[in-house]
Each structure stands twice: as structure tokens, then as C-alpha cells.
């Protein structure tokens, strides 16, 4: 069974701080990497994706990928209370069998305190 591991949290940061969310994955054949945000009682929403080693920035969000270390991270700068949610890391592994094409971590719950 391929795995994606995340710290379940909760991760608590003060408003305006940088939140750092981490994810490791087990299969070196993984091709693309995603971060989803899920508010309580709602469905997951794609907020970032990254395909190549290095950093990718979009507004206050930066995704970082290190394929050699099998590690993906998401940085949220100037954290706001509205960023409080569960963040799911997902890894694309076509032909994943009973796991489908995307393997999801269990999520990290982020709480941003005013």
C-alpha cells in the first residue's frame, strides 16, 4: 500500500505568522503533488499543485517539493483566521490500484488564532 504521511496536528499559529505544513510520500514514481484545503463540513478544494523540484508561489501560499527526500511542504505566509481548516496532501500515482490515482494523507488541522 502506497502511503502519504502528514502530522495530524492540530497546528496552532498566531495571526500574521507563517504556517508550515509537511508531507512525506512513499513511492518514487509519484508524478504530481497537490494541497487541498477542507473547511469543516465542506468538500476539499485544490489550492496548490507542484510538479517539479523547488518552490512554487501563489499569493500567500508556497509549495515546496524535494523528490530526492520524498517531501512536500506548504507554507502559508501572513496566516489569517480564515486559513483555519484541514489541509490534505495528495500525491499522483497512476495505476494505484485500490487507492485510485491520487493518494491522500489524513490531513493536518490548522488553527490560526487572532
Partner 1 sequence: DGGITQSPKYLFRKEGQNVTLSCEQNLNHDAMYWYRQDPGQGLRLIYYSQIVNDFQKGDIAEGYSVSREKKESFPLTVTSAQKNPTAFYLCASSTLTGVNGYTFGSGTRLTVV
User: Binding residues for partner 1, per CB under 8 A?
Assistant: 31-32, 34, 41-46, 49, 88, 90, 92, 94, 97-102, 104-107
Nearer to partner 1, 18 or 46 (CB): 46
- Residues 50 and 75: their CA atoms lie apart, in Å, by 13
Residues 6+ apart with CB under 8 A from 96: 2, 102, 103
Nearer to partner 1, 37 or 112 (CB): 37
Q: How far is the CB of 32 from partner 1 (least distance, A)?
A: 5
Q: How far is the CB of 28 from partner 1 (least distance, A)?
A: 16
**Sequential DSSP letters for 20-87:** EEEEEES-TT---EEEEEE-TTS--EEEEEE-SSEEEEETTEEEEEETTTTEEEEEESS--GGG-EEE
Nearer to partner 1, 70 or 92 (CB): 92
Q: How far is the CB of 78 from partner 1 (least distance, A)?
A: 25
Amino acid at each position: 500500500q502506497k502511503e502519504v504521511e502528514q502530522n495530524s496536528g492540530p497546528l496552532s499559529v498566531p495571526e500574521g505568522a507563517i504556517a508550515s505544513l509537511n508531507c512525506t510520500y512513499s513511492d518514487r514514481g509519484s508524478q504530481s503533488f497537490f494541497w487541498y484545503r477542507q473547511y469543516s463540513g465542506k468538500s476539499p478544494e485544490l489550492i496548490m499543485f507542484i510538479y517539479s523540484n523547488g518552490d512554487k508561489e501563489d499569493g500567500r501560499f508556497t509549495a515546496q517539493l524535494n523528490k530526492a527526500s520524498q517531501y512536500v511542504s506548504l507554507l502559508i505566509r501572513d496566516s489569517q483566521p480564515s486559513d483555519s481548516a484541514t489541509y490534505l496532501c495528495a500525491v499522483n500515482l497512476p495505476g494505484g490500484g485500490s487507492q485510485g490515482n491520487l493518494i491522500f494523507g489524513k490531513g493536518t488541522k490548522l488553527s490560526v488564532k487572532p
